[in-house]
Amino acid sequence: KKLTEMFCKLLILFNDLAVISPQDPVLHIGSSLTAVCTISAELEITARSLYWTLNGKRLARNTYKVLSPTESSVTLHQLNGSLQRSGDNLVCHRSNGEVLAGSCLYVGSPPEKPVNLTCWSRNTKDLSCRWSPGSQGETFINTRYILKYKLKWYGKEKDCEDYTGQMYTCYVPRDLAIFTPYEVWVEASNQLGSAASDVITLDILDVVTTDPPPDVLVSRVGDLEDQLSVRWGSSPALKDYLFQAKYQIRYRVEESNEWKVIDDAGNQTSCRLAGLRAGTVYFVQVRCNPIGIYGSKKAGIWSDWSHSTAASTPGIDRSHIGSCDSKPSEHNSTLRKELKQFFGWMRKHSYGCTDVSIKLYDQWRVWLQKAQKTHDQVSKDKTHLLMRHISRQQIITVGTHDIGPALYKKKKRSILRFYVTHKKENQKICLFF
C-alpha cells in the first residue's frame, strides 16, 4: 500500500514533462473513465507512440485515442472495484517502456450502515465492541470505522482509539462508569460517502462476560456405569463481590458431533451426569454466565466453552455371567500374576507419575492385547496409587507403601510394596518389587 501511494506521488512531483488528468479520481463501481496523458514538447515524441498500462498490464490499443500530437487518451468502461485499497495504477509510457506519468484510480462504493453491533466487558472497567460492515461488506477503497460512545443523559461524545484487535472491533480499556447507561454506535466513511449504525444503549453491568471456567475435571462415580462427575473452577473475575455465576454444561459421545446441553447447572461448580452409556468415552465442556447482583436485572453474556475434557464410563463386567465362582486361592494367584504384569509395565510407561488412575490400567490392557513394548524408564522415590475397579478379578482397593532401602540377600535395594484388598475375602495381598 505504502509503495503504491509513494509511486503515485513521485510521478506527480518529479515528472513535469507529462501529466495524466484527472489525477487520482474516486469513482463508483461500474463507472467509465476517460483519462488524458499530456506530454511536453521537450520530449520530442508524439502522442501516437505512447501506450497505457493499468496495474502493470498493457491496455488494448483500441482503447487509446490520439487527441493531438501531445495528447493521448484512454477510455475504460464498467470499472471493477480497485484491486488494492491504495488505488489502481494507471500509467502512461513512451514506446521504450519509460514511465511518463501516472494516476491512482480509486474505484469502490460508499460504506453501508454498520450492523450487528455488540459489546461486552471483562471486568466492568473496560468495553470491547464488534460490528459487521453491512450486507455488501467490501467497499474496495479505504473506509474508516469509528466506534463512538457517550453517557446517555450527559457527558461528551468520545471516540474509541484501540483498533489493534480483530477487524471491525475496538477496545475501550478504562474510564467507564457503572450504574449509568451508555449510548454506543459506529460511524463509517470513505471518499464516496458515510453511514452510521443504530445506537445501542447498554449498562456495563449488563454486558459482563468472563473467560471459560478453568480446571474442568471429569471422573467416574464409583461403580456407577451410567454416571460421570464434572467439577470446574470459577473465573477470577467472578470473585468480585458484584457478581455470582450460573453455568451450562454440554457433553457428547466420542463418535458424535451432537452435543447435549444441561441448562440448569445453577451456580454450583460441580455436576453429575446421569443416564450415560456404559463403557463409553464422553467429551465435556462448561461455560459461565455472570449475573449482576446490583443495578442490573439482566443476565450477563455467556463465555466461550471450555476446552473439551474426556472421560469414560465403566464397562459392564460380564466375565462371570453364567459361570461358577472360582476359589479364593485361585483369585489370589490370578490377581497376583496380573498385577505383577501391570506394575512391571507401569514402570516403563509412567515416568514421573505421582497419581495413577484407571486410565493407566486401561492403557496397559491395550498394550497387553497388542503386545506393544517401549523402553522408557521410570524412577521415583515415592509412588502413590489409588485405583478402583483395577481388574475384573473382584478388587476393591489398591494402594502402596513407600519405596525405601531394604536388605535383600545382604544387598541394599529399593523395595516397592503394593497391597490389594480382595472383595470377598477382605484380605490384603502384598506384592514386592
Question: Would you list the domain boundaries of the chain?
Answer: 6-108, 115-206, 210-312
Q: Is beta strand 355-356 parallel, antiparallel or unpaired with respect to 384-385?
A: parallel
Q: Is 344 helix (H, G, I), strand (E, B) or coil?
A: helix
Mean per-residue pLDDT for 261-281? Answer: 90
Confidence of residue 349 (pLDDT cuts 50, 70, 90): low
pLDDT digits (tens, 9 = 90+) for 326-335: 444 444 455 5
Residue 358: CB atoms within 10 Å: 17
| pLDDT (0 to 100) of residue 347 | 58
| pLDDT (0 to 100) of residue 359 | 54
What the block records as the C-alpha cell of 58 is 498493457
Mean per-residue pLDDT for 227-246? Answer: 80
Mean pLDDT for the chain? 76
What the block records as the C-alpha cell of 134 is 453491512
Mean per-residue pLDDT for 271-294? Answer: 88
Q: What is the C-alpha to C-alpha distance for residues 247 and 284, in angstroms, rounded to an integer?
A: 13
Q: Is 362 helix (H, G, I), strand (E, B) or coil?
A: helix
Q: What is the C-alpha to C-alpha distance for residues 155 and 140, in angstroms, rounded to an integer?
A: 36
**Residue written as cell 444441561?**
262
Q: Are 259 and 251 in contact (CB under 8 A)?
A: yes
Confidence of residue 383 (pLDDT cuts 50, 70, 90): very low
Q: Point out the least confidently predicted range of 77-91, 114-128, 180-194, 416-430.
A: 416-430
Q: In this model, does residue 318 exceed pLDDT 70?
A: no
Which is it for the CA torsion 166, 168, 169, 172, positive or negative? positive
**Residue written as cell 457517550?**
150
Mean per-residue pLDDT for 305-324? Answer: 73
Q: Are 273 and 284 in contact (CB under 8 A)?
A: yes
How many helices and strands in the chain, by DSSP H and E?
3, 31
Q: In this model, does residue 387 exceed pLDDT 70?
A: no
Q: Are 404 and 433 in contact (CB under 8 A)?
A: no
User: Burial level of 263, CB count in 10 A (0-12/13-18/19+)?
Assistant: exposed
| pLDDT (0 to 100) of residue 348 | 59
Mean per-residue pLDDT for 349-358? Answer: 50
| pLDDT (0 to 100) of residue 169 | 95
Q: What is the C-alpha to C-alpha distance for residues 347 and 433, in angstroms, rounded to an integer?
A: 11
Residue 296's Cα: distance from chain center in Å?
30
Question: Which of 1.10.1520.10, 2.60.40.10, 3.30.1330.10, 3.40.50.1110 would CATH assign to domain 115-206?
Answer: 2.60.40.10
| pLDDT (0 to 100) of residue 6 | 53
| pLDDT (0 to 100) of residue 350 | 53
* Host H or E run for residue 53: strand 51-54
Confidence of residue 341 (pLDDT cuts 50, 70, 90): low
Q: Is beta strand 158-159 parallel, antiparallel or unpaired with respect to 144-151?
A: antiparallel
| pLDDT (0 to 100) of residue 154 | 83
Mean per-residue pLDDT for 380-400? Answer: 35
Confidence of residue 83 (pLDDT cuts 50, 70, 90): confident
Q: In this model, does residue 13 exceed pLDDT 50?
A: no
6-108, which class in CATH?
Answer: mainly beta
Which pTM was predicted?
A: 0.60
Query: Which segment, 65-79, 124-138, 289-303, is predicted with the most confidence on average?
Result: 65-79
Question: Which has more confidence, 13 or 276?
Answer: 276
210-312, which class in CATH?
Answer: mainly beta
Residue 55's Cα: distance from chain center in Å?
37
Please check whether the two domains, 6-108 and 115-206, share a CATH topology.
yes
Q: What is the C-alpha to C-alpha distance for residues 129 and 107, in angstroms, rounded to an integer?
A: 29
From the list 190, 105, 188, the residue with the least C-alpha distance to 142 is 190
Mean per-residue pLDDT for 199-224? Answer: 91
Q: What is the C-alpha to C-alpha distance for residues 27 and 108, in angstroms, rounded to an integer?
A: 6
Q: Point out the least confidently predicted range of 114-123, 228-237, 250-259, 292-301.
A: 292-301
DSSP letter for each residue of 31-60 = --EEEEEEE-GGG---GGG-EEEETTEEPP
Confidence of residue 264 (pLDDT cuts 50, 70, 90): confident
| pLDDT (0 to 100) of residue 367 | 56
- Which residues are bridge partners to 413 per DSSP? 406
The single-letter code of the amino acid at 159 is: D
Q: Point out the least confidently predicted range of 84-88, 238-242, 309-313, 413-417.
A: 413-417
Question: Which has more confidence, 396 or 172?
Answer: 172
Q: Quick one: DSSP state of residue 163?
A: -
pLDDT digits (tens, 9 = 90+) for 95-151: 999 999 999 999 999 999 999 999 999 878 889 999 999 877 789 999 999 999 999
SS3 of the chain: helix, strand, coil, percent, to 5: 15, 40, 45
Q: In this model, does residue 218 exceed pLDDT 70?
A: yes
What the block records as the C-alpha cell of 264 is 440448569
What the block records as the C-alpha cell of 298 is 439482566
Q: What is the C-alpha to C-alpha distance for residues 282 and 274, in angstroms, rounded to an integer?
A: 12
Total count of residues recorded for the chain:
433
The single-letter code of the amino acid at 28 is: H
Q: In this model, does residue 170 exceed pLDDT 80?
A: yes
User: Burial level of 379, CB count in 10 A (0-12/13-18/19+)?
Assistant: exposed
| pLDDT (0 to 100) of residue 358 | 52
